[in-house]
Amino acid sequence: MAMDGLYISGYFSDDDKLMLDNYADELHSKNVSFYVRNLSDTIMQSAFDFADFELIAVAYEVLQQFILNGGYDVTKYFFKKLWWNITKNRESNIPFTISIEGIPTANGSETIKCKTQGQLSDEQKEKVLDKTFSLASQIEKHQYQLMEKNQYYAALSGHLFRYDLSDEELHEIDIVAEVKKKSEEK
């Protein structure tokens, strides 16, 4: 799906309807499309490390509009608020994903998916957002070289990164190596 707005995915209850409607109204007033995938009552069988269940996805162009129109700090606040509403601040084995789609490069548009796991403090979430937004900008400006696309790229719809709490950096995941490691563990 071509991204033209803001997309979230998570486990939402009927109690979340008003909150989601408020987001939709606020974004619609700014001419930004808002899409919600509700996973409640859905049976999931997948490789949680790679799948996007709890997610905020945004078109790079829309992210730039947010930052220009509302400011960087307001944009981070909005994303943190969405993050909290999606995860309800609970500990989960499911990685939380921030996806930025349509980053312009010399080789065409790219998508990055930055995954975090565990319960992060507000400060750690801000660092993840800073690193993610910065990475997208570096890719656009040819200051970061992405790994070559492999046979899993199409299935995963982008380049996967993992936020490492020990060094507070995003590291691109070598999917081939990860799949090999997981198959050897079994």
Residue range 84-118, pLDDT digits in tens: 999 987 777 788 999 999 999 988 899 999 999 88
Model pLDDT, residue 53:
82
pTM of the prediction?
0.86
Query: Taking 60 as the threshold, does the pLDDT of residue 51 lie above it?
Result: yes
Round to whole Å and give the CA distance between 71 and 56. Answer: 19
Rounded alpha-carbon distances, angstroms, from residue 40 to 44, 53, 54, 67: 10, 11, 11, 31
Query: With contact defined as beta carbons under 8 Å apart, do 117 and 129 qualify?
Result: no
Nearest to 66 by CA among 35, 115, 31: 31
Tokens 């090999």 map to which residue? 180
Structure tokens at 124: 């750690």
